[in-house]
Structure 1
Amino acid sequence: MEKEEVFNELMETLYETSRLLSSYESIPRMYGTEDELYMVEVHTLNLIGNKIKTNTSEIAEITNRTKSAVSQMVDKLIKKGLVVKYRNPDNYRELIIELTPKGKIVYEYHKKLDKEEYGKHLMNLKDFTVEDFQKLIKISKVLNRGIEMSRNGGDNLDK
């Protein structure tokens, strides 16, 4: 097979992976509390938990979402008792977001679940080397930069 054919197959496989992930993310699940949560909610909690204290601007930048979309997500998480939002005492204009004790339960449960799931995937990939994974990471980063540039109206991939 020629390089272009293999690349096209890679792109189709990545699109299929994207569709499967999207479908998987659309199913609400339980993460150690009585709440059914969508993956996007849990990943937002994960970002907040990793940062200890954060704000909507920081989350929006990390996730490539608008501050408005992040604010709506945070409001949902507040209603579920998973995060709190309060004014930064050092900068009154900034709102700080952090996990509640209940949010920390979900955060820890999700970390444990990810470790288990990643372990299963790793077992399925036992024939691949560290170098294989590193090459895939490198290719993915180049593709991600290209997609990001296309999304932003750019077409120069050399940056």
Structure 2
Amino acid sequence: MKRDEIIFQLMDSIYEVSRVTSLYESVPRKYGTDDELYMVEAHTINLIGERVKTNTSELAELTKKTKGAISQMVNKLKKKDLVIKYKNPTDSREIIIELSEKGKQVFEYHKELDKIEYTKILNQLDEFTTEDLSKFIKISSIISNSTKKSLVE
């Protein structure tokens, strides 16, 4: 098979992964509590949990979303008692965001769930070497960076 044909197949495969991931993300799930959360909510909880304390600006930068979109997400999580918001004692203009005890429970549950799911995937990749997987990461990064550049052109 020619190199350009392989690239077309690779891109088709990536688009299919994107479509399936989008479908997967659109289904709400429970993460160790009675709350049903969408994947974007669970990932926001992960970002907050990894930082212990954060703010909307940092979350917006990490997720490439607007501060307004992040504020809406954080408010949804606050209504579900998953995050705590309070003014920074040294800078009253900044709102600090951290996980509540319930949010920490979701954070830990999601981390364990990821380990289980990623192990299932890894077990299906036995034919690939660590070097093969590293090369795929490099290829994915190149494609991702190229796509990002297209967004700003």
How does the TM-score come out when normalised to structure 1?
0.95
Following superposition, the deviation at residue 145 of structure 1 comes to: 0.9
Counterpart for residue 50 of structure 1: 50
Gaps of 5+ in 2: none
Counterpart for residue 89 of structure 1: 89
Query: What SS does the corresponding residue of 1:93 show, helix, strand or coil?
Result: strand
In percent, how many aligned pairs have the same letter? 58
Q: Does 1:138 pair with 2:133?
A: no
Q: Does 1:116 pair with 2:138?
A: no
Counterpart for residue 79 of structure 1: 79
Task: Report Cα offsets for 1:64-88 as digits up to 9, x if no partner.
Answer: 1111111100000000000011111
Query: What SS does the corresponding residue of 1:27 show, helix, strand or coil?
Result: coil
Counterpart for residue 3 of structure 2: 3
Following superposition, the deviation at residue 109 of structure 1 comes to: 0.2
Counterpart for residue 107 of structure 2: 107
Following superposition, the deviation at residue 144 of structure 1 comes to: 1.1
Counterparts of 1:136 and 1:142, CA distance in 2: 10
Counterpart for residue 157 of structure 1: none
Counterparts of 2:35 and 2:109, CA distance in 1: 13
Counterpart for residue 39 of structure 1: 39
Gaps of 5+ in 1: 154-159
Q: Does 1:98 pair with 2:81?
A: no
Pairwise CA RMSD: 0.6
Counterparts of 1:139 and 1:90, CA distance in 2: 44
Paired residues, what number? 153
Counterpart for residue 18 of structure 1: 18
Counterpart for residue 156 of structure 1: none
Q: Which stretches of structure 1, 4 residues or more, deviate above 2 A after TM superposition? A: none
Following superposition, the deviation at residue 28 of structure 1 comes to: 0.4
Counterparts of 1:40 and 1:129, CA distance in 2: 31
How does the TM-score come out when normalised to structure 2?
0.98
Counterparts of 2:65 and 2:16, CA distance in 1: 23
Query: What SS does the corresponding residue of 2:103 show, helix, strand or coil?
Result: helix
